[in-house]
Structures are given as C-alpha cells and as structure tokens.
C-alpha cells in the first residue's frame, strides 16, 4: 500500500498507526488481554484493521476479524436507535407517557430518601416518558441506594452469569416488568441520571409496540438493513467456533476463563433479551452501526434514522446540576482516568457525548458507550472518524480502561491531515 496515497484519502499516517499496533501487542504479550480486534474508518474509508492475540488462548486459536464478541453495554445505543425508529414512524412520541405500553410503571411512587426505607414514599408528580427512558432519567437504576440489591438481582442472563451476579433472578419480560413495577422510584422522573435499567425497559417497550420479540425487532429495523448478520442475542451452533473465550482478570494479574464457546451462556436465546447488555457482535458489524450514526443515519444507501433524529440522539440533555452528580457505582469513571463521570461528557439518547476536549482524544460532539467486557467504540463527527476496539475480558471499570485510553490516544496521534 502506498502510504502517501493512503494519507491523502483518509488522513491517517500508516507509520504512526504502527505505534498503535505495538501498544496493543504489548497488552497481549504481557498477558493482560488474550486477544484484540481493532478497526478504524475515516472519511468513509477503512483506515486500519488489526487482529492481535488469541480468540482462545489455551487452544492457541488466533483471533480473527470475524471473531464474535459479547458486547455487553454496547447493546444500549442499538436499542436506543430502535426506539427512535418507532418515534419516526409515529408509533410513540418522545414525550409520551409510557403508561399505555408499560402499565407496570404507571402511577409511580417516589422514595423520600433513596438510601432510606422503600415504604417512605410519595406520589410521582408526573408519568415517565420515552425521553426519560432514552436519557436514563426515569428515576430508577443502578447506583448507591436501598434499591441496589433488588436491581442487581434483576440483571438478565446470560450477562448475569458471566458477571457472577449472586442471586440473579431468571425472569421473562412480563415477569421482569411486574417485579420492577413493585419497586418505588429513587427520584422523580427527569431529576437524576441512573444507569442500566432504562435500556432493559426500552427493550420491553420496543417488543410491545412492535408486537415482536426484541431480537426480531432489532433484526428487521437495524441488523438486516445494515448487514449486521453476526449481531444477535445468542450464538448459533454453526457460528460458535468464532466466539471468543471470555476471560476475567485474575488476582495474580493473569487471566482466568469465564465463558467458553463449548459451553457458552450465549448458546440459546435468552428468556429475557436484555436491551441493556445482551448482544454479541463483530468488529465489522458494530462498525457498520457506528458508521451509520456518524453518517447521520444512513449507510450504503440505507437510511435507518433521519439526520435530525441522529442530531437529537447525540446532544447532551443533562442539566448543569446533573453534571455534578456521581450517579454510578464507581467514584471515578471515564476515559479521562481522574475525571468524574460528567466533567467532560454529557448524555444523549443511549450514548455519552463529549462536551469538552481535554488532552489527546475525541473532539467535542464525539459519542460512544462501552461494554463491561472491555469493548468500546468512538464516533467523532468533527474528524469523520469511527473506531471500534474489541477485547474480551471482564475488567474492574468498563468506563475507563488503560487499553481503551491508549487506543484512542494512538488513533488520534495518527491523524496526518
């Protein structure tokens, strides 16, 4: 490949991208990660593809471009897009109460103290809307509260199995909603940002509005139109040889197996298809999804969303006061390492949105959302760049990993135009 011509087309230096390879290779050689697939597009062209290490380290099976990964919370933006297609079709409005479709969440009660008694409550001043769900401000979700053990027990399989969640309930969607409906809200709708639960509710909402399972709804609305043939809630037998082994960081600094293709938790369609964390995908599949959003809702002649809808999805809805909240399970969160979660990011519809550029990395307006198994991606409209990084290891904090930070820094240092 002629480097000069390549730089002219997509504006990334091949010589500088070799620094990225050396860094990613180091994580594999040190045994911190078994294998990695990295994929970058810029100006609509593929600029970089790297496959390093092992799909199954013990079996010495090399990782490949079409290796299938458990993408966990990278499911969330996909479900948000599916919900927005329903808005575009006039089947639900952004500010409609969701009571019609989700009666379990009607007439909510709100806790006077989120860390207090579940019985010390008052009536919610208004109903939950679709906008509340999409912005994670419905009033209930993960974080420090009296509801935390109840909500963690509702994490759906197979993600709960892979994360070793004790006492996880295996509930079908209607039973899951009924159980959630028995719990009060932590805050009034619109008041605070709370993680996880909103996306699972969105999955149920999509299924009820369409009259189809979430898997079928996503396949018809997103996967088939975009050619995402390897994205689903389960891995069929004929594809299981492509599924990466899931590892976890061991106390001694090595890796221990958490899920293997031969006996994977993702072998069969789940009882509850989790809109928050249930999907598997490949680098190319997810890159097509990200490229569609980067291209304002359209890819290769197929339009999923309008330009205006993507713009609405990728702006910050958090209030100045909400930017001061530490509303997740960690004290420190994001790819800035030392920064609190919302110092330099806001939240749109299912994605974090960069509000301030610091250091070497994403431009203001960039958007993303990572997964609990180390997977991440980034779409940067200013640079017309989309980058996806897929390892497969359970880490301590999905919102900040050193390999993810290195991936972005060494991607941006390669910009040569």
How high does pLDDT run on average in the chain? Answer: 93
In this prediction, residues 84-111 reach a mean pLDDT of 97
pLDDT score, position 343:
86
State pLDDT tens for residues 202-259.
999 999 999 999 999 999 999 999 999 999 999 999 999 999 999 998 887 789 999 9
pLDDT score, position 253:
78
pLDDT score, position 342:
86
pTM: 0.95
Does the pLDDT at position 1 exceed 80? no
How many Å apart are CA 143 and CA 50, to the nearest integer? Answer: 36
Retrieve residue 200's tokens. Answer: 């699972």
Which residues on neighbouring strands pair with residue 83, listed in sequence order? Answer: none
How many Å apart are CA 26 and CA 199, to the nearest integer? Answer: 35
How many Å apart are CA 209 and CA 386, to the nearest integer? Answer: 32
Helix axes 3-10, 14-29, angle to 10 degrees: 90
Does the pLDDT at position 323 exceed 50? yes
- The pLDDT confidence band at residue 331, using thresholds 50, 70 and 90, is very low
- Do residues 223 and 229 make contact, with C-beta atoms less than 8 angstroms apart? yes
How many Å apart are CA 352 and CA 346, to the nearest integer? Answer: 6
Q: Higher pLDDT residue, 313 or 329?
A: 313
State pLDDT tens for residues 164-181.
998 898 999 999 999 999
Retrieve residue 388's tokens. Answer: 């996806």
Does the pLDDT at position 335 exceed 60? no
Does the pLDDT at position 333 exceed 50? no
DSSP per-residue letters across 197-256: HHHHHHHHHHHHHHTS-HHHHHIIIIIHHHT-TT-BSS--GGGGGGBPPEEEE-TTSSEE
- The pLDDT confidence band at residue 328, using thresholds 50, 70 and 90, is low
Which domains does the chain carry? 3-74+229-412 (3.40.710.10), 80-210 (3.40.710.10)
How many Å apart are CA 397 and CA 154, to the nearest integer? Answer: 20
Does the pLDDT at position 388 exceed 80? yes
- Do residues 175 and 153 make contact, with C-beta atoms less than 8 angstroms apart? no
DSSP letter (8 states) at residue 184: P
pLDDT score, position 265:
97
In this prediction, residues 107-131 reach a mean pLDDT of 97
- The pLDDT confidence band at residue 126, using thresholds 50, 70 and 90, is very high
pLDDT score, position 397:
66
- Do residues 143 and 195 make contact, with C-beta atoms less than 8 angstroms apart? yes
In this prediction, residues 378-393 reach a mean pLDDT of 97
pLDDT score, position 398:
64
pLDDT score, position 2:
33
Q: Is the peptide bond before 360 cis (omega within 30 degrees of 0)?
A: no
Measured on CA atoms in the order 364, 365, 371, 376, is the torsion positive or negative?
A: negative
State pLDDT tens for residues 41-79.
999 999 999 999 999 999 999 999 999 999 999 999 999
Listed residue (96, 89, 28) closest to 62, CA to CA: 28
What's the burial of 84, exposed, middle or buried (CB within 10 Å: 0-12/13-18/19+)? Answer: buried
In Å, how far are 108, 190, 232 from 125, measured between CA atoms?
Answer: 9, 11, 38
Does the pLDDT at position 334 exceed 70? no
């Amino acid at each position: 490949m002629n480097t000069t011509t390549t730089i002219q087309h997509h504006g990334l230096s091949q010589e500088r991208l070799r620094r990225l390879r050396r860094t990613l290779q180091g994580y594999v050689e040190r045994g911190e990660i078994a294998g990695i697939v990295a994929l970058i597009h810029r100006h609509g062209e593929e600029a970089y593809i790297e496959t390093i290490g092992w799909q199954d380290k013990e079996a010495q099976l090399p990782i490949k471009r079409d290796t299938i990964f458990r993408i966990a919370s990278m499911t969330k933006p996909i479900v948000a897009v599916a919900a927005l297609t329903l808005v575009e079709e006039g089947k639900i409005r952004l500010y409609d109460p969701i009571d019609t479709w989700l009666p379990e969440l009607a007439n909510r009660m709100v806790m006077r103290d989120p860390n207090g008694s579940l019985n010390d409550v008052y009536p919610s001043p208004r109903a939950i809307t679709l906008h509340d769900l999409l912005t994670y401000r419905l009033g209930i979700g993960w974080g420090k509260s009296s509801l935390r053990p109840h909500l963690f027990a509702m994490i759906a399989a197979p993600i709960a199995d892979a994360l070793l969640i004790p006492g996880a309930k295996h509930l079908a969607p209607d039973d899951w909603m009924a159980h959630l409906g028995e719990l009060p809200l932590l805050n009034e709708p619109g008041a605070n940002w709370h993680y996880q639960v909103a996306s699972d509710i969105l999955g149920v909402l999509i299924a009820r509005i369409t009259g189809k399972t979430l898997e079928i709804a996503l396949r018809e609305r997103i996967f088939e139109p975009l050619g995402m043939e390897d994205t689903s809630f389960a891995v069929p037998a004929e594809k299981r040889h492509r599924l990466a082994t899931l590892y976890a960081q061991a106390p001694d600094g090595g890796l221990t197996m958490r899920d293997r293709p031969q006996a994977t938790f993702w072998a069969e369609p789940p009882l509850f298809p989790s809109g928050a964390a249930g999907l598997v995908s490949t680098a190319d599949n997810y890159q097509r999804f990200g490229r569609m959003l980067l291209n304002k809702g359209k890819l290769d002649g197929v339009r999923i969303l309008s330009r205006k809808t993507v713009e609405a999805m990728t702006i910050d809805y958090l209030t100045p006061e909400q930017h001061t909240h530490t509303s997740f399970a960690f004290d420190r969160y994001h790819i800035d390492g030392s920064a609190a979660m919302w110092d330099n990011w806001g939240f749109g519809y299912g994605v974090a949105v960069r509000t301030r550029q610091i250091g070497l990395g994403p431009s203001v307006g960039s958007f993303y959302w990572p997964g609990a198994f180390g997977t991440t991606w980034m779409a940067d409209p200013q640079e017309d760049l989309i980058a996806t990084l897929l390892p497969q290891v359970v880490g301590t904090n999905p919102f900040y990993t050193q390999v993810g930070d290195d991936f972005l820094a060494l991607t941006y240092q390669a910009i040569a135009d």
